Structures are given as structure tokens and as C-alpha cells.
A = this chain, B = another copy of it.
């Protein structure tokens, strides 16, 4: 008879329960899942909208696959909030204006701008998910990392953007500016959210008996996010 395996799930459940004893931590996790869920649902909407600009059925199907994957992410975060006994839509509501503002300021004017936004946004979101996961209780971390599981949908963008630049090099200059504007708006909206939501910030910076990033750590996180953004732009053939 094999040795009794350690029941990791109950250990993790106990640790998760302990983390949630801190009401500010609980608030922060709900705010975090709420802001991510809202982001995924609007990403679905915007990508579905952008699919209308697709020059053909193949591209339409490829961008729709991204939209559909974002909806899957939304669903996972939604269900995670329900498991915490939280109404997902109430948790999402406070972030309505921020996303409206972000998307109003970054509405793509054509198919290529839509592609770059999809690629840059998807990558930045995935990086942020991975960064923030490190400071979460095991249950929430697993949810965040599972949500990220389904990836690779945006890889078709690389070929499309590079082809467009090869056809007309001026496109590269315009899209490089566009990429800078996107990341600038994203970071500016993120700072606004952090300033208004103490719980969410506490999840990142830690509490009395919970580790987190200090200010220097947050600075390094932003440095990593912008470095990865630059690599993605380079992969598209764009200066950042």
C-alpha cells in the first residue's frame, strides 16, 4: 500500500482562509479580480468589434478566436468571485469608467491599429497577471495562473504587422507611435486605479504580516513590464 499522499488542497485551503482573515486583503483580492474581469469582458467586446475591420474571413476568425479566449478568461474570474461569495458584477462596477476612458482614448482607426492593440494589450495583461500572482494566497494565485493558461491566440498578429510594414515602411512609424500611446494610456489608467483602491494596492505592497513589494519593488515591476513591452514591439518590427 502506498504512503498516504499529503492533501495539498486542504493545506492550501487553510492558508487561503487565513489570508482572507485580513479584511483589507479580502477587499484587495475582490478589487483585483473585479478589475481583471472587467478588463477581460471589455477586451472581448473590443476584439469582437475589431473583427469587423478584418480584411478577410481568415483574419476575422483569428481575431474572433482571441475575443473568445478573453471571454473564457472573464468566465474564470467571474466564477472565482462567485466562489468567494462575491457578486462579480458588483466587484466589476467600480472600474467601468476607467475602462471606458481607456478604450475611448485608444479606439483603433483601422485593422492594423486594432491588431497592435490586441497584441500589446494581451501581452501586458499576461505580464501583469504573472507579476501580481506572486503576492497572492495559493487559491487566488491558482485562479490567476489558470486564467492565463490559454494563450498563443495573438501570435498571428506578428506575421500580419510585419507583412504590412514590408509592403509600406511608413506603416511602421505610425504603428510605433500607436504602441507608445497604448502603453502610456494603460500605465496612466493603472496608476489611477491604484490611487483609488487601497485594498488593491495592499495586495501588491503586502500587509503587517504578509510579504509584498516595497516602492523599489514596484518600480522594478514597472521596469519589467515596460521591458517586455519593448520586446513585443520589436517582435512586431516596431520601435518602442
Residues 23 to 81 of chain A near chain B (Cβ within 8 Å): 41, 44-45, 48-49, 51-52, 56-58, 60-61, 64-65, 67-68, 71-72, 74-75, 78
Query: A22 on the interface (CB 8 Å rule)?
Result: no
Nearest-Cβ distance from residue A95 to partner chain B, whole angstroms: 11
Query: A118 on the interface (CB 8 Å rule)?
Result: no
**Which of B41, B57, B64, B65 is close to A61, meaning CB atoms less than 8 Å apart?**
B41
- Inter-chain contacts of A128 with B (CB < 8 A): none
Total identical chains: 2
Query: A156 on the interface (CB 8 Å rule)?
Result: no
- Inter-chain contacts of A41 with B (CB < 8 A): 57, 60-61, 64
- Inter-chain contacts of A222 with B (CB < 8 A): none
**Which of B51, B71, B74, B92 is close to A45, meaning CB atoms less than 8 Å apart?**
B51
A89 & B49 in contact (Cβ 8 Å cutoff)? no
The number of residues on chain A lying at the interface, defined by a beta carbon within 8 Å of a beta carbon of chain B, is 24
CA–CA, A61 and B57, complex, Å: 25
CA–CA, A208 and B45, complex, Å: 49
Query: A163 on the interface (CB 8 Å rule)?
Result: no
Given A68-B71, A71-B68, also A92-B48 (CB < 8 A): no
- Inter-chain contacts of A100 with B (CB < 8 A): none
**Which of B44, B57, B60 is close to A68, meaning CB atoms less than 8 Å apart?**
B44
- Inter-chain contacts of A52 with B (CB < 8 A): 45
B48 & A74 in contact (Cβ 8 Å cutoff)? no
- Inter-chain contacts of A68 with B (CB < 8 A): 44, 67-68, 71-72, 75
Interface centre among A51, A57, A75 (most CB of B within 10 A): A57
Query: A198 on the interface (CB 8 Å rule)?
Result: no
Query: A93 on the interface (CB 8 Å rule)?
Result: yes
CA–CA, A44 and B74, complex, Å: 17
**Which of B48, B64, B93 is close to A57, meaning CB atoms less than 8 Å apart?**
B93
A selection of 17 A-B contacts at a CB cut-off of 8 Å is A41-B57, A41-B60, A41-B61, A41-B64, A44-B68, A45-B48, A45-B60, A48-B48, A48-B49, A48-B51, A48-B67, A57-B92, A61-B89, A65-B71, A67-B71, A68-B71, A68-B72
Known pairs A57-B92, A58-B89, A67-B71; list 5 more (Cβ under 8 Å): A41-B64, A45-B60, A48-B48, A61-B74, A61-B78
